[in-house]
Amino acid sequence: MNDVAGNYSITLVDVLDTFPVMGDKPGFEAAVRWVIDWVQYDVDTKPQVFEVTIRALGGLLSGHIFASEGKFKLDWYRGELLALAKDLGERLLPAFDTPTGLPWARVRQSNFTQFTPLPDYNFVSADKPSSRRATRRNDTNL
């Protein structure tokens, strides 16, 4: 299975801020309710950290802002999107705890202490820029 986007309605979450841009308050309200009712991040998947950060986390945060204030404010809304964003952010955070400071490409969502650095590369660098390269861990030509 290719779980790049995490298998949790990432497109709907990603476009939450599109409804206000298009002036569609009923569509926005329906989408917010759907996300609150159906989206969860406690799933066994290994999404790409970059995609989920910009699309899901960004969508939840912008959706929260629109639902909380301005002309798209939803009177019944109580911060549920922000709670989902916090949950997702905590699940992604370990991916940034790496020896290089660069995040792993993927992180397992169901057990966010277990990383899945795919592909399995070590980064080798030396003083000369021409000798910098990524190598497979089993590469004997170091």
Task: Give the model confidence (pLDDT) of 55-91 as tens digits.
Answer: 999 999 999 999 999 999 999 999 999 999 999 998 8
pLDDT band at 112 (very low <50, low <70, confident <90, very high): low
Beta-carbon count within 10 A of 43 CB: 15
Q: pLDDT tens digits, residue range 19-28? A: 999 999 999 9
Question: Which DSSP string corresponds to 83-109?
Answer: HHHHHHHHHHGGGG--SSSSPPSEE-S
Of 91, 99, 2, give the one whose Cα is nearest residue 49. Answer: 91
Decide if 34 contacts 80 (C-beta within 8 A).
no
The confidence score (pLDDT) of residue 6 equals 45
The domains of the chain are located at 10-99
The confidence score (pLDDT) of residue 115 equals 52
Q: Which residues contact 43 (CB under 8 A, 6 or more apart)?
A: 6, 7, 8, 109, 110
